[in-house]
Amino acid sequence: MAVVTRRLTAAQLAEQLRAAITRLNRRLRQTRPVGELTQNQLSVLGSLELAGALTPRELSDAERVQPPTMTKVLAKLEERGLIQRTPHPTDGRQVLLSATDAGRAVLLEQRRVKAEWLTRRLAGLPAEDREILRRAAEILDRIARESD
C-alpha cells in the first residue's frame, strides 16, 4: 500500500504546527496537580528563575500583564515563600524579585512531572517516530531562537 504524502504550504504547515503545539502544551499544563500554583504563578516563577532577578515592572513587561495583576500574583508567591524581595542596588525606590530555593524546587517538580508524562507517551511510539520528533525538536528550537 503506497503512502500518499500531501505537500503543505508554509501557511498550512504553520497552522498545523501551531494547533499541535497548543494541544500538547495544554496536555502538559494539565499534568500539574490540582490545587497547586496557577499557570500564571508558574510562569512568573519561571521568568524569575530564568532572569535571576527582575523589578516588578520588568516582570510585568516580560509576562505581558498589567501591574495590578502582577501585584496579586506576586503576593500569592511571596505568601508561599516562593519569591523574595531585595533592595535594588542602584534605585532605592525599587525592589528586585527573585525565586527562592523553595520556588526553584516547585519549578523542578513541575518539570519532572511534565517530563515523566511526556516520557511515557514517547515510550509508546515506534523508534522511527521518536527519531522524527528528535529532529523536529531541534528544528523547533532553532525556529524559536531566531529573531525577526
Spell out where the chain has E strands. Answer: 83-87, 95-99
In a domain, 42, yes or no: yes
**pTM of the entire predicted model:** 0.79
Cβ–Cβ under 8 Å, residues 64 and 54: no
CA distance 49 to 44: 9
Residue 111's identity, in one-letter code, is R
In a domain, 4, yes or no: no
Look-up of cell digits 508554509: 10
Q: Could you give the angle at which helices 10-29 and 101-123 cross, rounded to 10 degrees? A: 120
**Per-residue pLDDT at 36:** 77
Nine cell digits for residue 30: 494539565
In DSSP notation, 58-78 reads: HHHHHHT--HHHHHHHHHHHH
* Boundaries of domain holding 101: 36-121
In a domain, 62, yes or no: yes
What is the total count of domains within the chain?
1
Q: Give me the average pLDDT of each 10-residue run along the chain (148 residues).
A: 72 94 92 80 94 93 93 95 93 92 93 94 96 96 87
In a domain, 43, yes or no: yes
In a domain, 29, yes or no: no
In a domain, 113, yes or no: yes
In a domain, 112, yes or no: yes
**Per-residue pLDDT at 2:** 55
CATH code of the domain containing 76: 1.10.10.10
In a domain, 105, yes or no: yes
